[in-house]
Structure 1
Amino acid sequence: MNDWYRADVSAEYAVGLLQWLEQRRIPIEDVLVDTGIGPAQLEGNLRLTTQQDAALLANAISLAGDPGMGFELGLRATLTWHGLLGLGLMSCATLGQALELWAEYLDLRTAGFCLSVQKRDGRVELHIQDLSPGAPMRRSALERLATMTACLGGQLTQQPLPELEMWFTDDQPAYFARYRHRLAQTRYGTGMCMVRMPDRYLDLPIPTANALVLRQVKAQCESERLKHGQNDCLIARIKNLLPLENGTYPGMEDVAQALCMSSRTLKRKLRQLGLNFRQLIDDARKNEVLRDVLNTAMTIDEIAERRGYSDAANLTRAFRRWTGESPSQYRAKLPFRLERAEMAA
């Protein structure tokens, strides 16, 4: 069976979408046409397949005339949309603890994506990995998840977080213009997809913290994970081990040992996901190089040496393969479009 037909997306997000469209006088029956979504899925708090979620998004975009529907849904999502996990987020002591919980149990809300949390240079980065990149409507689904994630900080801490950013791999779509005033600072054409913020935000307290409720929620999340046959995202766990502090990358044996499994088991699990260990290393190195190139204080020669390339020419060849342009051409696009900052100016 195609992976797009697995029960991967919480129906609570569909219910939120349908309620909003109903307020706009768009009949629910029209939105559900050809989606295969039945009342039992919606009323029973069950899960949608990736295909059903995509069909619902496509119908909503067509009926509402808004190709930026992913942004709209992300902005409208409340903590209650996240169900049991939302209760857990509200019960965390700090924003940092909440973001770790969000990344750890995201598979219970949408198994088609996973998050890895990384800290570097005074920033925390929540990298979004698309595990079903060939499925339809992925851009909308990605914009929905990124916006939801970006909104969590303000919702949980009950204060504005002006230095929060969203980064997207592709170029800016035309429909972004109508949303830029409502979104966090947004960068396009970065080659990476993530939500990024100063690491000092991680210590911000959450007024609704409750340690007892948090323990109960975690126990229920584990039970739900077993019920749905979900596993915590292997890709995120591996990425959290890359790279090492000295800039090198561990081998498969080292990573497998850190994950308490044999290298053979790790290889098999990656193969089931259509990936291999070398791809993950290359992807991690690519992200590190892209970040370094954004730092105009570093020369290309310095970046090549730092990231293990024999010379700048080898790095440039790899960079062209990733982005279609040289590091200098990529750097020349700086500053990236920070839409809200531009408008304020």
Structure 2
Amino acid sequence: MSLVASVSELDVLNGLDVQPPWMHQVNQPVTYPRMFVEVAQDYGVSREQVLRYAGLPANILDDPAGRLSLLETWKVLLASLCLTGDPTLGFQNGLRLPLTAHGSLGYALMCASTAREALTILERFWHVRGRGVLLMVSETNDAPFFELVPELPMPSALRDLAFSSMLTSMYRGMQFVLPMLPASSEIWLQGAEPAGFQRWQPQLPAVHFDMPRAGIVLQGDRSWLDQPLPTANPEALAQAIAQCERENALLDAVDDVVRQTRAALSLEGGGYPTPEQLADKLHLTPRTLRRRLQDQGQSYRDMLEEARCRDGCQLLANPDLEIQRISELLGYNDPANFTRAFKSWMGVTPSEWRAQRL
């Protein structure tokens, strides 16, 4: 059996330089790791084997309404990947997850009156279904882009596994709720195309690998956003929203600091905000902002580099912008510094990256 992830990656989870307290809180739905274990069973791998490999109790998944910590959830996912040796496990898992697996949020999406309302609900309550990955909604080439962003560093094998599952499940849910979903939609993933992926491609939209960001792009005419949905149910929607609100009220307000910081680190006319400007924008002192980011395994410097990588890739997609100008917009006085930084992010120089995609 060829392991596409290894025990060392499980050790990475145990030995993260910073393990924020919320990573150990038992607040993750058991639904998602249970489904990964069920998919692994199709390969002849038992639940007991997966949990033993992950170093977890044999009964931890027994209660369908149970909860795990984020660290435990990640261990189950990596253990399933290691023991099956199939790098397409995430796609298989995402294709199996029904919309109802997402609890109150899934029911709210089913009962929304229009696609626009459903997508607003998804953005508003995404976080109630667990921690570890943020949903950021933006525009890419004038099309809505639903981006997944890790809240703290993830091993690449875990990131590719989790993101392929989440985006596949999200797309299938959109197909169910939005029968008029544009056929030109795309899934973007940051890792390389895994061996065996082509057998799942017919059930998915166009999937692009080795991308600078991970998410779903909804291309095409936007008139479908305001068309009535066949599953709309105002009364059931109100009940589902109320339950989402109750779940949201149980979450610690400090959880929003990473999402708010990412949103505030946008490229504006004068460049990116300084730590002091950012703290002021979030109504925090610089010291409090720094401490809250540290509590979640983040720092201003790391998030600034992430924003520069994201925006650099977007700017390079415009062939009319010179690389020297892009480096200036991103805050690099010397284009050589931008080139070195970009190669450390993407493995190629800015000019090579642009040539591969234009």
Please state which band the TM-score falls in when normalised by the shorter chain: 0.7 to 0.9
**Partner Cα distance (1:318, 1:32) in 2:** 40
Is the CA contact 1:92–1:98 (under 8 Å) kept in the aligned structure 2? yes
- In structure 1, what is the equivalent of residue 244 of structure 2? 221
Q: Matches of 1:196 and 1:127 in 2, distance apart?
A: 9
Question: Which string of whole-angstrom CA distances, capped at 9 and with x for unpartnered residues, describes residues 292-340 of structure 1?
Answer: 21233433234334444435434323322322321111122226xxxxx
SS in 1 for 2:196: helix
**Residue number in structure 1 paired with 2:7:** none
1:184 aligns with 2:205: yes
Distance 1:69 1:223, change over 3 A: same
**What is the distance in 1 between the residues matched to 2:228 and 2:265?**
29
Distance 1:120 1:134, change over 3 A: closer
Paired amino acid for 2:175: G
Decide whether the 8 Å contact of 1:12 with 1:42 is kept in 2. Answer: no
Distance in 1 (CA, whole Å) between partners of 2:176 and 2:57 is: 30
Aligned residues: 335
Cα contact 1:37–1:52 (8 A) shared by 2: no
What residue is the counterpart of 1:322 in the other structure?
A: 345
In the alignment, the residues of structure 2 paired with residue 79 and residue 331 of structure 1 have an alpha-carbon distance, to the nearest angstrom, of: 38
**Any gaps of 5 or more consecutive residues in structure 2?**
1-13
Evaluate the alpha carbon distance shift between residue 213 and residue 267 of structure 1 in structure 2; reply closer, same or farther with a 3 A threshold: farther
Q: CA separation in 2, counterparts of 1:267 and 1:70?
A: 34
Partner of 2:92: 72
- Name the SS for the 1:45 alignment partner: coil
1:169·1:192 contact (CA, 8 Å) conserved in 2?
Answer: yes
Q: Please report how far the alpha carbon of residue 191 of structure 1 lies from its aligned counterpart in structure 2 after TM superposition.
A: 2.5
Opposite residue 344 of structure 2, the aligned amino acid is R
Deviates more, 1:140-149 or 1:129-138: 129-138
1:154 maps to 2:175: yes
Deviation of 1:85 after TM superposition, in Å, equals 1.0
The 8 Å contact of residues 48 and 58 in structure 2, kept in 1 or not, is answered as no
- Counterparts of 2:304 and 2:78 in 1: how far apart (Å)? 34
- Label 1:331 to 1:240 Cα distance change in 2 as closer, same or farther (>3 A): same
For 1:230 and 1:68, how far apart are their aligned partners in 2? 35
Normalising by structure 2, we get a TM-score of 0.78
2:32 is matched with: 13
Q: Do residues 255 (structure 1) and 278 (structure 2) align?
A: yes
Q: Does 1:241 align with 2:264?
A: yes
Q: Is the 8 A contact 2:186 2:208 kept in 1?
A: yes
Q: Which residue of 1 aligns with 2:134?
A: 114
Question: Helix, strand or coil for the counterpart of 1:198?
Answer: coil
- In 1: Cα distance, 2:258 partner to 2:27 partner: 16
Do structure 1's residue 333 and structure 2's residue 353 form an aligned pair? Answer: no
Amino acid at match of 2:219: P
Instruction: Describe the superposition over 1:125-154 as per-residue Cα deviations: whole angstroms up to 9, x where unpaired.
Output: 222122343467343122211222233322
Aligned counterparts, 1:1-345, within 5 A:
2=19, 5-17=24-36, 32-33=51-52, 36=56, 41-58=61-78, 60-61=80-81, 66-134=86-154, 137-198=158-219, 200=222, 202-203=225-226, 205-227=228-250, 229=252, 232-243=255-266, 245-246=268-269, 248-310=271-333, 312-334=335-357
How many angstroms apart in 2 are the aligned matches of 1:205 and 1:314? 51
How far off its partner does 1:264 sit? 3.0
SS of alignment partner, residue 73 of structure 1: helix
Q: Give the distance between the partners of 2:232 and 2:279, measured in 1 at CA.
A: 35
Percent same amino acid at aligned positions? 28
For the structure 1 residues 19 and 282, does the alpha-carbon distance in structure 2 shift closer, same or farther, using more than 3 Å as the test? closer
Aligned-residue offset at 1:167: 1.7
Assess, with a 3 A threshold, how the Cα gap between structure 1 residues 210 and 309 changes in structure 2: closer, same or farther: farther
Cα root mean square deviation, aligned: 3.3
Alpha-carbon contact 1:80-1:87 (below 8 Å) kept: yes
Using the size of structure 1 for normalisation, the TM-score is 0.81
**Aligned amino acid, residue 207 of structure 1:** P
Gaps of at least 5 residues in structure 1 are 336-345
CA distance in 2, matches of 1:270, 1:251: 15
Structure 1 residue matching 2:144: 3-state secondary structure: strand
How far apart, CA to CA, are the structure 2 residues paired with 1:89 and 1:69? 26
Return the letter of the residue paired with 1:178.
Answer: R
Change (3 A) 1:7 1:27: same
- Aligned partners of 2:296, 2:249: CA distance in 1, in Å? 19
Q: Which piece of structure 1 moves more, 287-296 or 313-322?
A: 313-322
- Alignment partners' CA distance in 2, 1:247 and 1:95: 36
